[in-house]
Amino acid sequence: MFERIYVEDAIHDHPRTIDLLKRYPNAEAICCSRYGEVFNPKRQNFRVQKSNPALILAEKRGEKVLPTPAEYGIGADRHYYFSHMLNCLYDCRYCFLQGMYRSSNFVLFVNYEDFVSDIREVANSHPNEQCIFFSGYDCDSLALESLTGFANHFLDLFQNLPNATLELRTKSVNVSPLLQREALENVVVAFTLSPDSVAKSLEFKAPTLTARLRAIAKLASAGWKIGLRFDPLIYFDNCQQVYRAFIDETLEQIPLSAIHSATIGVFRSPKTIFNNMKSLYPEEPLFMGNLELSNGLVRYPEDLDKDLTETVADRIMHHVPENLLFQQK
């Protein structure tokens, strides 16, 4: 899968590094002092790298668990996020990662034990409050599970943190590692879902909507809690009718008892990130549509935003109680 694997000097002898290098004996192993030497240089072509990315094994330094922005949450007392990996296997046109990073190489932080320590410390410092920890902000939580072993490692942690919940954000249908374990009440497998027409035109390399719904059905049958992430919502001609039908068809297939939460959010992007994405895909219709700059974000005009949000929210609440629905801004 990888022709080149860059390894930070500091973690060259880490057990996870040794294991990964053994699994890719034909890959060229290249030492570096810090992953930024490979990941951050300006003269890189994201699109060219995307076709054949390298793997960078690194140590996550500094803060590993951060509070989410105030407008982002799903009803807990406290919300945090952490990133064990940078970049995603999939190639979704609306994804902010392609506008935020210059490189499409994968960075895997192998020092899971430090993440575990920090998550445990945060959860234990708020014993009487419910804390949610989001993974999948800078990557897909499950797409490269066979490589990273991420979910299995962190499920062991959350199994013993009663006041903490882990969200695994994904589009992946690689759910076998979860199905081989007993479902945990404090773990949410959250799927990003879009109408089939949107998925086909914008979510390249990602599993189809049908495949994702099959994976959800398997997980729900096994007792796992499901998060439904209708984000981003995309405006296009006849979009309200398309989204109404999509929401109805999707939620009719998922038992209410399995749904932990549903979130909605229209397409929005910080100006600099949007401009970077647009430079990569100057002919992409998504970036040439009904968009405007408002408070530093490129997004749809207020009336379009409001109409689409209310349409989707109304259809969701035909199937899901209002207290399980959250809007992301």
Of 243, 279, 248, residue with least CA distance to 264: 243
The number of CA neighbours under 13 Å toward the Cβ of 228 is 33
User: Is residue 49 assigned to a domain?
Assistant: no
pLDDT of residue 186: 97
Token pair of 201, please?
């035109």
User: Is residue 191 assigned to a domain?
Assistant: yes
**What string of pLDDT tens digits covers the 329 residues of the chain?**
899 999 999 999 999 999 999 999 999 999 999 999 999 898 888 888 999 999 999 999 999 999 998 888 999 999 999 999 999 999 999 999 999 998 999 999 999 999 999 999 999 999 999 999 999 999 999 999 999 999 999 999 999 999 999 999 999 999 999 999 999 999 999 999 999 999 999 999 999 999 999 999 999 999 999 999 999 999 999 999 999 999 999 999 999 999 999 999 999 999 999 999 999 999 999 999 899 999 999 999 999 999 999 999 999 999 999 999 999 98
Alpha helices by DSSP H, 159-301: 176-179, 196-202, 209-221, 239-251, 271-280
Please state the φ and ψ torsions of residue 158, each to the nearest 5 degrees. -70, -20
Find the CATH number of the domain harbouring 321.
3.80.30.30
Under 8 Å between Cβ of 17 and 32:
no
DSSP string over 294-317? ETTEEE--HHHHHHHHHHHHHHHT
**pTM listed for this prediction:** 0.96
DSSP string over 113-147? HHHHHHHHHHHHTSTTS-EEEEE-SSS-TTTTHHH
Burial of 264 (0-12, 13-18, 19+ CB in 10 A): buried
Residue 237: give the domain boundaries: 61-103+110-327
CA distances from 242 to 5, 98, 149, 197, 254 (A): 43, 27, 37, 9, 19
For residue range 108-134, what is the model confidence (pLDDT) as tens digits?
Answer: 999 999 999 999 999 999 999 999 999
User: Is residue 134 assigned to a domain?
Assistant: yes
pLDDT of residue 252: 97
For residue range 138-183, what is the model confidence (pLDDT) as tens digits?
Answer: 999 999 999 999 999 999 999 999 999 999 999 999 999 999 999 9
The number of CA neighbours under 13 Å toward the Cβ of 226 is 29
User: Is residue 25 assigned to a domain?
Assistant: no
Of 249, 64, 77, residue with least CA distance to 163: 77
User: Is residue 243 assigned to a domain?
Assistant: yes
User: Is residue 7 assigned to a domain?
Assistant: no
User: CA-to-CA distance for 224 and 177, rounded, in angstroms?
Assistant: 12
User: Is residue 20 assigned to a domain?
Assistant: no
pLDDT of residue 70: 83
Of 104, 84, 205, 193, residue with least CA distance to 147: 84
Q: How many structural domains is the chain composed of?
A: 1
Which residues have CB under 8 Å from 289's CB, separation 6+? Answer: 235, 236
User: Is residue 233 assigned to a domain?
Assistant: yes
Under 8 Å between Cβ of 166 and 122:
no
Write the DSSP symbol of residue 223: T
Under 8 Å between Cβ of 154 and 184:
no
